[in-house]
Amino acid sequence: MSTSVAIAVITFRRPALLHALLTSLQAQEIPAESDYGIRIVVVDNDADGSAARVLEEFGEGTPYPIESVVEPEPGIPFARERSVELCWNDDALIFVDDDEVAPPGWLASLLRAWEATGADVVTGPVKGNLPDGAPPWNHYSDVHDSTGRHTTGEELRKAYTNNTLVSRRVYHTVTPGFHPAFRYTGSSDLHFFLRVHRAGFRIVWCEEAVISEDVPVGRTTLRWLVRRAFRSGSGDTISRLLIRPGAISYVLVLAYASARVISAIGFALAGLLLGRKTHLLKAVRRFFSGVGSLAGIVGINHDEYRERHGAGRGSDGGESVPGDLADGAGPESARVADQGRAPVADHPDARLP
């Protein structure tokens, strides 16, 4: 029997980007010597089903069939959890973002790495393509480009859902997968993969399975860099405290956050003395990541995606409110992928082995 692999895409009102991604996915070739059954699953997080117009262009005759559903509950964790439900019986699922484009050979590289390593999770790099006129600091920073950070086969402690293959045994064990506390803030994927690693599953890197994304102009400003660093730090803290609540975790998180701030000062001094812009950018990212980590201790995060889903207060959707944890931890929790189990409304980490 063939090995079933689903490519899972969640999308929200980005038709042009979704069309580009699906076009690149349909152009992928799988290893000739392998027997894979590939399909694509699209979860539209727009209650109005705006992705339907794009999906109509990929009907019969395409190399890989597309299944699509609408997930009306706004928020990335709900859409991701729905995609897991739809891929429950596949041997593996591959998470990609709707603003990415897969170059030729991407899928084959990811599958070969899965076969060769026998890993439970295989993740690859994302290369950001900067827009014309992007401020110079973008060219000195790796914030938009994760290529070249690891070697193929290297084991990692975490991953993200922007370019990652996950074996069925993983999402059958670590469930529910995506915590609704991260509805508008991001980091639900970090929280999931930290739990995956803690449960004993192997996460490996595949440098050859590179995927690309066009960086929008709005993500080339220092203001965005500061907010993203803050959100990443806060999301990391909240993830770790959800996984392992208690005094010890608070002490460890506090130590980590303090170390980030102190190292930021060191990079800033080195950057000024040596005239290295890369050091100065690292100083900015580490400082605000450390500040975000400290804010996460009391549940504060940057609601980056709140306004995109029509739930924002203010013009930029950037209000940081502890209430997001209350939003997610209430009775309206994400559905559990395994329908044979009762939902855990407030603490999915209780299912950790």
pLDDT at 25: 98
pLDDT at 60: 80
Q: How are strands ordered across the β-sheet holding 126-129?
A: 100-101, 211-214, 126-129
The full set of domain ranges for the chain reads 3-217, 223-305
pLDDT at 306: 61
**97 phi/psi in degrees, rounded to 5:** -95, 155
pLDDT at 211: 97
- Cα–Cα distances (Å) from 172 to 36, 141, 323, 353, in that order, read 20, 37, 30, 12
Identity at 14, one-letter amino acid code: R
Among the listed residues 19, 184, 192, the one whose alpha carbon sits nearest the alpha carbon of residue 93: 192
pLDDT at 157: 95
90 class by beta-carbon count within 10 Å (0-12 exposed, 13-18 middle, 19+ buried): buried
- Cα–Cα distances (Å) from 262 to 183, 281, 283, 289, 290, in that order, read 31, 15, 9, 11, 9
- Cα–Cα distances (Å) from 230 to 162, 178, 224, 241, in that order, read 20, 21, 10, 17
pLDDT at 307: 55
pLDDT tens series, the chain, 353 aa = 699 999 999 999 999 999 999 999 999 998 778 899 999 999 999 999 999 999 999 988 899 999 999 999 999 999 999 999 999 999 999 999 999 999 999 999 999 999 999 999 999 999 999 999 999 989 888 888 887 789 999 999 999 999 999 999 999 999 999 999 899 888 999 999 999 999 999 999 999 999 999 999 999 999 999 999 999 999 999 999 999 999 999 999 999 999 999 999 999 999 999 988 889 999 999 999 999 999 999 887 666 556 555 553 332 333 322 333 333 333 233 333 333 333 322 333 322 22
Cβ pair 47, 78 in contact under 8 A: no
Cα(8)–Cα(206) distance, rounded to whole angstroms? 19
Token pair recorded at residue 50: 């705006």
pLDDT at 338: 36
pLDDT at 77: 96
pLDDT at 285: 93
Which stretches of the chain are DSSP H helices? 15-26, 52-55, 76-86, 106-117, 137-140, 168-173, 188-198, 222-243, 247-274, 277-297, 323-329
Chain centroid offset of residue 270 CA: 32
**226 phi/psi in degrees, rounded to 5:** -65, -45
At the topology level, CATH places domain 3-217 in Spore Coat Polysaccharide Biosynthesis Protein SpsA; Chain A (3.90.550)
Q: Which residues pair with 69 in a beta bridge?
A: 43
Which pLDDT tens digit goes with each residue over 193-244?
999 999 999 999 999 999 999 999 999 999 999 999 999 999 999 999 999 9
Q: Please name the residues in contact with 263: beta carbons below 8 A apart, sequence gap of 6 or more.
A: 286
Cα(233)–Cα(172) distance, rounded to whole angstroms? 28
